Every structure is written in C-alpha cells, then in structure tokens.
C-alpha cells in the first residue's frame, strides 16, 4: 500500500472528536477506499487540558493550529473549529501549503466563500464542505453534481437541528424554550454561541450556501432575510396546534424568472429564513427533534426530498469523512474534484416582494362591525382573507385571520393600519404560513 496520507484535524469538540474517533474506528475501511492508510498527524485545540470525548495522544495535541497547518507534510486539513477567524486564515494557509481542505464551517463559507474557492483554485487543491449544510444529509453534492444538468427553481427546508429540536419539544412535550435549548446544547447540536441557531444566523448561512449552489449564484449570508425563533411563544405553538398546523423554522430559496421585452428572461433570487406555520399533513411537519429535511424543485426532475440527522457530532463527522475520502483519493491521484461552477450575477429580491400566506392574531373590542372593519383594512392593501376565526372573551375578542398569498410589504402595511385602529387593542402575532391552501 502507498505512503500514509497525513491528516490534521483542527478542533476536537462535538464534531472534531467524532472525526478523530471514526478515523481510528474505520481505519482499515478508509485505507481500502482511499488506497492509502490515513495517519492522524495532529489535532489542534484551544485548551490542552479540556476533557474530550475521545482520547488523543498528548504528542498529537497542539494549541498551535497554524504551526500544524504550515508543517509542510500535511495532505488534508479538516477544519472543525468554526467561526470566521482563525478558521479562515488556517484554511488559506493550508491551501497555500499544498493541503486539501474539508470544512463544516457554514458561517465562514456564507460570509467569505469566494475567497476560499479562489484560493483552492489557485492552489489546485480541493475544498469540500458537505457537512456545512444539514449535518449527515448529502445535499450539496447532489446540487453541485447530480442536478448540474437540470434547472433548480426552489429549495425549501428545515436546516437547523437546534431550533427544530426546540420547536418540536414546545409542540409535543410542552417544554419551555430555555429548557429545550439546554437539552439541545447538551446533545452537541447547538453552535458555540447558540444565538446563531436561535436567531436564524446558522440557517441563513446554510440557505446562502444552498442558494449559491442551486442557482449558480453568489449568495452571501447578508443577502438572506433572517428571522429566528426567539419571538415564537407558547401561545403561537398552541394557536398552530388549534389550526392543525405546527411551527417550523424554514429556509426558502427561490429563483424568480420574469420575462422582459423581446422575450429576454431576467432571473433573480429570493432567499429567506423565518418561522412559519405548516399544516400537519405537510411532509416537513413530521421532521422531529434535530432532524433536517430539504425539498428541491427542479424543472426536469420535479420534486426531490432529502432527509436525515441535521446536527450532532457523529452524523456531522459522517459527512466530513465522506469528503475526506473524496479529497484524499483526488490528492493521491494528483487531480481535483468538481469545483464551484461559473457564477451568474443575479439580483436579490427584497423581502418586501416575497409572497406567502399569513396567520395574524388580532385582539379587538367585542363590538358590532369589528369584523367588517378588519376585513376592509386587509382588502385596502390587496391582502385577501382566506379564513377568519373569532374567539370571544369578556369585553374583547380575538380574530385569527389567515390570508391568501400576498407580499410581505402588503402585509406589513396592513398590520400598521390595524395597529392604528381604535377597535384594535393589539396585533399579537404575525406568522407566515407555508404549504398548500386548503
């Protein structure tokens, strides 16, 4: 068998520890698949004395990640530290030093992916990142390779395990938000700073990566409209249940094609992350715990669905090792895998123009004419009402309105008008609704 392939692992937390464990546990299989044994050349961490889920020989542990990457004999660097710096400098240094790179770092890819892709091109090395989106689910390779001959028009999914876990616990076990978040952290699903999960930053980064690959565009996290789940209340969860729905944090990326003069077609992208109510009959409603699911719609293939564990050390390490085998094979053969495709410049559609349905809960005075006045406010902004439910209390009432499709701008104007009406005490909840109109 050939000379060993030297692998440096940067980070030994939830994901890194499982990468190290699997490198050992699967050593023979990996060697057979790659055609060379894999040698763990070093593991970079922040604290040498921290407890680890895996035993790492002291001589392999280092706090000098840059020194490890620049040693000159490393073939593949696995970056599972996370965050922007020092991860970016380490990846760039790895490529400059002739190593291929596997990373799970969606935050960095969504912020500054092109810098990394260009560095990989310049170095003639691979940069693979399947683990960056939806944990163990193979979704980036299908978008980049299997669907390269088709035209993807929409990607819709649950891409954050932590928030799905929290919303699922709120829905099924009546758990409080904080309690469910603590559980998700203990299970290794959450980011180092869980605000990234809760406020939708993590899902937005993944949405940007998905949209970039699906639409062969450069979409960054800054292009993604983002709302997290911190404002979702137990009341919203109850209200969804009463409607036969459930609340999920969705990532949605759409390609909008408009026909201009002379048959010229303009394409723009609309990418957003926000909580939405979906009917329990919708396939995404049955995605429980930290599982993820992604629907892809394309012109020729139609609808495809990808489903599996979206977070956690071992599932994510599975995706990392899949990439490791690919880049290791390429590295040995002196070739590169499929790089990023040529990018088209596409306009980003502002959120105000995104179209969806809405669930609006309005506290109103319980008097004659209220329903008509509220309906007029909706109609005045071009928002047509699909259903209204009225729940009476002593001297006030709650109206729950579900609209037909309208733009975010139309809905925002409606809510502003409602808030200014004397009969309206408060607009207590505004939630988008996804799924077929019934």
Ligand X SMILES: N[C@@H](CC=O)C(=O)O
Ligand Y SMILES: NC(=O)C1=CN([C@@H]2O[C@H](COP(=O)(O)OP(=O)(O)OC[C@H]3O[C@@H](n4cnc5c(N)ncnc54)[C@H](OP(=O)(O)O)[C@@H]3O)[C@@H](O)[C@H]2O)C=CC1
Strand-by-strand arrangement of the 61-62 sheet: 61-62, 38-44, 5-10, 76-79, 100-103, 127-128
Contact 396, 365 (CB under 8 A): yes
Give me the residues that bind ligand X (CB under 6 A), please: 135, 160-162, 189-191, 197, 202, 310-311
Q: Is 270 in the site for ligand Y (CB under 6 A)?
A: no
- Give the Å distances, CA to CA, from 256 to 266, 329, 347: 8, 38, 10
Q: Is 367 in the site for ligand Y (CB under 6 A)?
A: no
- Among positions 137-176, residues that touch ligand Y (CB under 6 A) are none
d(CA 166, CA 191): 14
Q: Is 45 in the site for ligand Y (CB under 6 A)?
A: yes
The least distance separating ligand Y from the CB of residue 254, rounded to whole angstroms, comes to 25
Contact 326, 30 (CB under 8 A): no
Q: Which is nearer to ligand X, 165 or 215 (CB)?
A: 165
Q: Which does 162 bind (CB under 5 to 8 A by kind): ligand Y, ligand X, none?
A: ligand X
Point out the residue whose Cβ comes nearest to ligand Y.
13
Q: Is 81 in the site for ligand Y (CB under 6 A)?
A: yes
The Cβ-side half-sphere exposure at 367, using a 13 Å CA radius, reads 6
Contact 144, 168 (CB under 8 A): no
Phi, psi of 323 (to 5 degrees): -65, -40
Q: Which does 13 bind (CB under 5 to 8 A by kind): ligand Y, ligand X, none?
A: ligand Y
Candidates 24, 47, 122, 389; binder of ligand Y (CB under 6 A) is 47
Residues 6+ apart with CB under 8 A from 380: 414, 417
Determine whether 206 is an active site residue: yes
| Among 6, 106, 151, 206, the one annotated catalytic | 206
Q: Which is nearer to ligand Y, 2 or 63 (CB)?
A: 63
Categorise residue 319: left if φ over 0, alpha if ψ from -120 to 50, beta otherwise: alpha
Q: Which does 42 bind (CB under 5 to 8 A by kind): ligand X, ligand Y, none?
A: none
Q: Which is nearer to ligand Y, 47 or 238 (CB)?
A: 47
The least distance separating ligand X from the CB of residue 15, rounded to whole angstroms, comes to 9
- Give the Å distances, CA to CA, from 35 to 39, 197, 349: 13, 39, 47
Phi, psi of 334 (to 5 degrees): 70, 25
Residues 6+ apart with CB under 8 A from 146: none
Candidates 25, 32, 50, 148; binder of ligand Y (CB under 6 A) is 50
The least distance separating ligand X from the CB of residue 149, rounded to whole angstroms, comes to 29
Q: Is 180 in the site for ligand Y (CB under 6 A)?
A: no
Q: Is 308 in the site for ligand Y (CB under 6 A)?
A: no
Q: Is 93 in the site for ligand Y (CB under 6 A)?
A: no
Q: Which is nearer to ligand Y, 90 or 427 (CB)?
A: 90
Q: Which is nearer to ligand X, 34 or 139 (CB)?
A: 139
Q: Which is nearer to ligand X, 42 or 194 (CB)?
A: 194
Q: Is 86 in the site for ligand Y (CB under 6 A)?
A: yes
Q: Which is nearer to ligand Y, 279 or 312 (CB)?
A: 312
Task: Count Cβ atoms below 10 Å from residue 67 Cβ, excluding itself.
Answer: 11
Rounded to 10°, the helix 106-123/87-96 angle is: 20
Q: Which does 160 bind (CB under 5 to 8 A by kind): ligand X, ligand Y, none?
A: ligand X
Binding residue count for ligand Y, defined by CB under 6 A: 29
d(CA 160, CA 137): 12
Q: 243, 173, 214, 165: which is closest to 400 by C-alpha?
A: 243
- Among positions 95-114, residues that touch ligand Y (CB under 6 A) are 104-106
Contact 428, 235 (CB under 8 A): yes
Mind telling me the catalytic residues? 206
Q: What is the contact surface with ligand Y in residues (CB under 6 A)?
A: 10-16, 44-47, 50, 65, 80-82, 86, 104-106, 131, 135, 188-189, 191-192, 311-312, 316
């Amino acid at each position: 068998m050939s000379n060993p392939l030297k692998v440096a692992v940067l980070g030994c937390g939830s994901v890194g520890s499982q990468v190290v464990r699997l490198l050992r546990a699967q050593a023979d299989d990996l060697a057979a698949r790659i055609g060379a044994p894999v040698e763990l050349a070093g593991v970079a961490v922040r604290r040498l004395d921290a407890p680890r889920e895996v035993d790492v020989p002291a001589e392999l542990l280092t706090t000098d990640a840059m020194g490890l990457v620049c040693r000159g004999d490393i073939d593949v660097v696995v970056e599972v530290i996370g965050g922007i710096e020092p991860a970016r400098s380490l990846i760039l240094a790895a490529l400059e030093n002739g190593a291929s790179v596997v990373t799970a770092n969606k935050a960095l890819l969504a912020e500054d992916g092109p810098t990394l892709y260009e560095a990989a091109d310049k170095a003639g090395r691979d940069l693979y990142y399947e683990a960056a989106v939806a944990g163990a689910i193979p979704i980036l390779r299908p978008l980049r390779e299997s669907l390269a001959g088709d035209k993807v028009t929409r990607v819709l999914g649950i891409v954050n395990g932590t928030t799905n876990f929290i919303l699922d616990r709120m829905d099924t076990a009546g758990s409080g938000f904080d309690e469910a978040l603590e559980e998700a952290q203990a299970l290794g699903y959450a980011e180092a700073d869980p605000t990234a999960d809760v406020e939708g930053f993590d899902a937005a980064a993944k949405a940007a990566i998905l949209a970039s690959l699906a639409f062969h565009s450069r979409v960054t996290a800054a292009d993604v409209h983002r709302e997290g789940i911190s404002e979702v209340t137990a009341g919203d969860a109850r209200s969804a249940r009463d409607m036969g729905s459930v609340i999920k944090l969705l990532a949605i990326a759409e390609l909008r094609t408009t026909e201009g003069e002379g048959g010229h077609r303009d394409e723009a992208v609309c990418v957003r992350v926000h909580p939405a109510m979906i009917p329990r009959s919708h396939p995404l409603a049955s995605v429980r715990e930290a599982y993820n699911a992604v629907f892809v719609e394309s012109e020729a293939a139609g609808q495809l669905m990808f489903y599996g564990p979206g977070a956690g050390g071992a599932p994510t390490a599975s995706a990392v090792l899949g990439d490791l085998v690919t880049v290791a094979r390429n590295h040995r053969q002196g070739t590169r895998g499929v790089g990023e495709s040529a990018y088209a410049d596409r306009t980003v559609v502002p959120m105000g123009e995104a179209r969806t349905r809405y669930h609006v809960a309005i506290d109103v005075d319980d008097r004659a004419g209220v329903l008509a006045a509220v309906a007029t406010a909706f109609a005045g902004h071009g928002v047509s009402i699909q259903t209204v439910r009225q729940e009476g209390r002593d001297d006030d009432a709650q109206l729950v309105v579900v609209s037909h499709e309208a733009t975010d701008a139309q809905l925002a104007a409606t809510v502003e008008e409602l808030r200014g009406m004397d009969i309206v005490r408060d607009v207590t909840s505004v939630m988008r609704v996804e799924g077929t109109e019934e």
